[in-house]
Chain A
Amino acid sequence: MRRLLLAVLLFAPVCAGAQTIPWGLDALMQQMAHVKKATASFTAQKTSPLLTTPLSARGVLVYRAPYYMRKTTLSPVHEVFILDHDRITMSGGPGGQTQRFSTSDAPQIAGLVTGIRAVLAGDTATLTRLYSVGLRGTEGTWQLRLVPLDARTRKIVKSITIAGSDDRVTGIDTLAPSGGLTRMHVTETITTDAH
């Protein structure tokens, strides 16, 4: 009896690891890592301390594991933002010019998007290197709050809150230190390697 108890105590975590981890950040990230492709439409409401009314935007998101992410804004202005490995490409927008730079050229902009990509890719290492991470909720409705560790990034983004259900992202809220808030609702279609 005592030996059985010992065996259970010793091996239960191992077996549980192989089967079911108690739900938490690692479990969520493992689940996210299975997503190989995702496309989504989004609508966003941007509030700005400069403005009395929010600005609305809508567009499409594309993710391909583990390094490619594209956000295409269709309205009010057509704008494309691509993060591929460490390269960022921004085109469209009011200036009309295409800009290409690396994430380290503009760490502030990079801070806005690398966290989101790390969540989509289930890349715990990158995520915890760049942000302090807080997870709330349950597997069915979770909320991941990312606070940038880099001081320069904190000047333009206070926190990013990603909401989701299982391995799907349902919303991304970005809060600026000035009080501006961008609320993005996401409707996702995903392909995982399990399928």
Chain B
Amino acid sequence: MRTDRLALGLWLLLLAVCAVIDASSVYRTKMGDFLPHSASLAQRVLARQVNGGAASHILLVSLHGAPTATLATLSEGLAKRLRQNPAFIDVLNGDAQSLAPIQNFIWKNRYLLSPTVTSGRFSAPSLHSSLTGDLGLLATDLAPMLSHSIPADPTQEIMSVMDLLKPAGRGPEQMDGVWTSPHGTAALLLLHTAAPGFDLNAQQRDLQTLDAMFSRIRAKTRGAQMVRLEVTGPGVFGVRTRAVIKDDVTLLSSVAITAIVLLLLYVYRSPRMLLLGILPIVSGAITAIAAVSLVFGFVHGITLGFGITLMGEAMDYTIYLFTQTARDGSAQGTIRRIWPTLRLGALTSVVGFSAMLASSFTGFAQLGLFSIVGLVTAAGVTRFVLPPLVPVQFFAEGAERIARPMEWLIRNRRSARPVAVVVLLGAIAALLNHQGTMWDQNLLDLSPIPASAQSLDTRLRHELGIHGQRYFAVFQAVSAQQALDKSGNLAPVLAGLKTSGLIAAYDLPSTILPSSATQRARQAALPNAAILKSHLDQALAGLPFRSGVFSPFLKDVELARTAPLLTPANLPPALALRFNSMLVRNGSGWVVIAPLRGVSDPTVVKQRLGTAGADFVDLGHQTGVLMATFQHEAVMLATFGSLAILVVLLAGLRSLRRALTVALPLAAAVTITAALLTTNGGKLSIFMVMGFMLIVATGSNYCLFFERAIPGSPFWDRAIASIVLANLCTVGAYGLLALSRIPVLHDIGLTVAAGTFLSLVCGALFSLPPDRMRTP
């Protein structure tokens, strides 16, 4: 009695301490935090591009279902309204307003931004040659447009800056003044939201704003009633994914919980037992979160979600305890009897999951620790806390009826064995057949986006000329200013690569905002008003320009010479977004991520960049490296986990034959499951591998109980009933997950439901001792 109270007290204390730790834990959800903790700079660049780079702010919009002229009117109306909304920092639809904020910024600050601003530029001879060029331009058809800018910018600084900042490529088709699809059947817009793609609340609000604006404008536009709005982009995918997850999880988990509650109520006939039954798993989750938080400093969202899934086995512990208690027995007696089996089962799972601790994927290691701590706690609670709380007269009335089909299978197991062997051989043959090609290559693509949405995204990206960014020049610096200086030094190198055709285009943060030192140097290169005036007068000699034409030039240079230096705060939002995605904080330092387009010879570009002190990052290659690491690790973890489990079984059962009797049916169940999952070209995902571990963890308990069962003994029926009930709950819960549209939930649900059921069947066929032991 005293030890019972001690156990209860210690348990409550542990829960209280862990709950405090849980409440103060840091929870993270970015995919980057799930990646290897030893990730290289390049891999972190990859993660950053996946979440939150400038590309994640993009929304691509298509309007279709009316003649081009009507679509153009709608596009203009929509763009005009969106530009007044601060949630949309950049609204491009091809009209004159699209680039106005950037053009105004460049025009106003051309003398600080232009790389051609040097002291020689404003000498009399150099000005004379600029002015002669201007005279030539005035003779051309462009004269009407240039006659506005030449008086203020005779040295054409605006051209130097525009050449560097203008987007590469031709851009979309243009009809009736706006961007359209190639045949004018759709008007296209490209929006940048202020919120990043992963801020789903903001993205959802922005999408609703967009929808509402579109509906109002459509209602006001004649002949536009049939026009439809299509939107795509990372934010759209995120919002839709969340909605699907919310729907699926709400529906499926409530159905699963209801089903399990009804089943357990039928078996236990006691709500109190139902509540006692969830104590181990709840305790396990609370301590597991605390442990992960203490060891890793943060808890990943995926760890939280799937850790609890991986602990599903803890639910079985109470089922074994409650169901195996005989009519006249006590739970205390039952736990003493089944504890050796339960302990070995828990130990097997712990050893299996501990292989995950060694994973270089932070998320995997967290999941491993979570499961281990959770299971140990749950087993401890089942052993020391629960039994005294079970009422003395408790008996699980409904258990036997549930086990009847299984008893039939067990009676006929001799004739069923050859069938199972044939199925297993078929499974092995099928797996050997597509060895190496059965891994899903899309490691990071976990979104439940239907193919139609994917193809819309691909089409709009193509029509708008937005290319996936694959190559980057990357380097680090101790401060933002040093990073901008280095970026400025890299500019001529990249310009050289472009001239020699090795790259088609590049972007650098120093193009948008030169370092303070560079800006000061350009200011120093500008002559003072008196000197500039005298140089200009000399330069104008012999040219037919009217006197006083260039006074805007004199005024603007003087302004620029004494203007405060530009800082990131001065950038218009569209440029700030581009700038901030290229110059990012990295720990205490800074890293520059400069996109390169149209890389024709990666090897040469890599070598040239290396000489200039920058790394060349190929995201395609990095994804491949990550995939290879993952596959390698998955196989290693599975191998080591299986070996460790075998060792534990050997040590626990002290017999190779008995260990194999438990392990081989499990191996058969996993093999058949893997073969089932990869039929019809199906691929194995990261989450299916977790599912395999869960099969082994849960199934090992079945096989251990089977192996220890004594057919015909007084405990026989109760033992079989408890295993069947545990499996029914598992198959029910995970089977419902398999109905989810979210690949992650579907994969793990299908794997575990199929695998644990097969473990039950294989265990019943191969782990049970022969009937001749009926009379001991």
Interface residues of chain A, those whose CB is within 8 Å of chain B, are 46, 48-53, 55, 57, 71, 73, 76-77, 79, 81, 90, 93-94, 102, 104-105, 107-109, 112, 152, 156-157, 174, 176, 178, 180, 182
Q: Quick one: given A77-B140, A108-B145, are A50 and B546 in contact (CB under 8 Å)? A: yes
Assess whether A51 is in contact with B544, with CB atoms less than 8 Å apart. Answer: yes
Chain A residues whose C-beta falls within 8 Å of the C-beta of B136 in the assembled complex: 76-77, 93-94
Asked if B546 and A52 sit within 8 Å, CB to CB, the answer is yes
Known contacts A50-B150, A152-B96; A176 and B144 CB within 8 A of each other: yes
Residue of A55, A81, A108, A109 ringed by the most chain B CB atoms within 10 A: A55
| 19 sampled A-B residue pairs with Cβ under 8 A | A48-B143, A50-B151, A51-B545, A52-B545, A52-B546, A57-B139, A76-B139, A77-B139, A90-B141, A90-B142, A93-B136, A93-B140, A93-B142, A94-B140, A102-B175, A108-B145, A109-B141, A178-B144, A180-B147
CA distance A81 to B148 in the complex (A): 22
Give the residues in chain A near B133, CB-CB below 8 Å: 94
CB distance from B147 to the nearest CB of A (A): 6
Known: A104-B176, A180-B144. A48 touches B96 (CB 8 A): no
Which residues of chain A come closer than 8 Å to B139, judged between CB atoms? 46, 55, 57, 73, 76-77
Closest 7 CB pairs of A and B: A156-B144, A94-B136, A53-B544, A55-B139, A51-B544, A104-B174, A93-B140
Q: CB distance B141 to A50 under 8 Å?
A: no
B282 within 8 A of A: no
B598 interface residue (CB < 8 Å to A): no
Query: Contacts A77-B139, A94-B136, A109-B141 hold; do A48 and B177 have CB atoms under 8 A apart?
Result: no
Q: Is there a chain A Cβ closer than 8 Å to B137's Cβ?
A: yes
A178 to B147, Cβ gap below 8 A?
Answer: yes
Number of interface residues of B (CB under 8 A): 26
- Which residue of chain B lies nearest to A54 when distances are taken between CB atoms in the complex? B544
For residue A58, give the distance in angstroms from its CB to the closest CB of chain B.
11
The one of B135, B142, B147, B177 that contacts A107, using a Cβ cutoff of 8 Å: B177
Contact A112 B141 (CB under 8 A): yes
Chain A residues closer than 8 Å to B392, beta-carbon distance = none
Bound Cα distance A162, B635 (Å): 81
User: Which residues of the partner chain A approach B175 to less than 8 Å between Cβ atoms?
Assistant: 102, 104
Question: B residues bordering A, Cβ < 8 Å?
Answer: 96, 133, 135-145, 147-148, 150-151, 173-177, 544-546, 549
Instruction: Provide the residues of chain B in CB contact with A73, threshold 8 Å.
Output: 139-140
What residues on A are CB-neighbors of B96 within 8 Å? 152
Residues of B within 8 A of A76 (CB): 136, 139
In the bound assembly, the distance between CA atoms of A137 and B545 in angstroms comes to: 37
Candidates A50, A79, A109, A182; contact of B549 at CB < 8 Å: A50
Chain A residues within an 8 Å CB radius of B135: 51, 55
Given contacts A53-B544, A104-B174, contact A48 B147 (CB under 8 A): yes
Query: Which B residues are CB-close (under 8 A) to A50?
Result: 138, 147, 150-151, 545-546, 549
Q: How far is the CA of A73 from the CA of B138 in the complex (A)?
A: 13
Smallest CB gap from A107: residue in B: B177
Contact status A49-B144, CB under 8 Å: no
**B144-A112 in contact (CB<8A):** yes
Interface pair B145/A55, CB less than 8 Å apart: no
How far, in whole Å, are A147 and B546 apart by their CA atoms in the complex? Answer: 28
| Distance A48 CA – B151 CA, assembled complex (angstroms) | 12
Give Cα A156 to B145, complex, Å.
6
Which chain B residue lies CB-closest to A150?
Answer: B177
**CA separation between A52 and B545, bound complex, in Å?**
6
A52 touches B544 (CB 8 A): yes
Q: Given A48-B138, A48-B147, A94-B140, 11 more contacts at CB 8 Å?
A: A50-B138, A50-B545, A51-B138, A55-B139, A93-B137, A94-B136, A94-B137, A102-B174, A108-B144, A157-B144, A176-B144
Q: Which of B147, B173, B176, B544 contacts A49 (CB 8 A)?
A: B147
Q: How far is the CA of A174 from the CA of B144 in the complex (A)?
A: 10
> Given the complex of chains A and B, what is the CA–CA distance between A176 and B135 in angstroms?
17
Q: Which of chain B's residues has its CB closest to A81's CB?
A: B141
Q: Which residues of B contact A178 (CB under 8 A)?
A: 144, 147-148
Nearest-neighbour CB distance to chain B for A45, whole angstroms, equals 11
Distance of A50 from chain B, by nearest CB (Å): 5
Q: Which residue of B lies closest to A93 (CB)?
A: B140
Nearest Cβ on chain A to B323's Cβ, whole angstroms: 76
B150 partner residues in chain A, CB cutoff 8 A: 50
Please give me the residue from chain A that is nearest to B136 by CB atom: A94
Closest to B140 in A: A93
Closest A residue to B547 using CB positions? A52
Closest CB in chain A relative to B540 CB, distance in Å: 11
Report B226 CB to chain A, min CB distance, Å: 23
Give the residues in chain B near A152, CB-CB below 8 Å: 96
Nearest CB in chain A: distance from B155 CB, A: 14
Are A51 and B140 interface neighbours, CB within 8 A?
Answer: no
- Min distance, Cβ A33 to any Cβ of chain B, angstroms: 25
Max chain A Cβ within 10 angstroms of own Cβ: one of B96, B133, B143: B143
With both chains docked as a complex, state the minimum distance between the C-beta of A149 and any C-beta of chain B, in angstroms. 14
How far, in whole Å, are A71 and B177 apart by their CA atoms in the complex? 25
CB distance from A174 to the nearest CB of B (A): 8
Given A50-B151, A50-B549; A180-B544 close (CB under 8 Å):
no
List the B side residues contacting A180 at CB < 8 Å.
143-144, 147
Residues of A contacting B174 with CB < 8 Å? 102, 104-105
Q: How far is the CA of A80 from the CA of B139 in the complex (A)?
A: 13
Which B residue's beta carbon lies closest to that of A50? B549
Q: Please, which residues of chain B bring their CB within 8 A of the CB of A107?
A: 177
How many angstroms from the CA of A112 to the CA of B143 in the assembled complex? 12
**Given A104-B176, A176-B144: A46 and B546 within 8 A (CB)?**
no
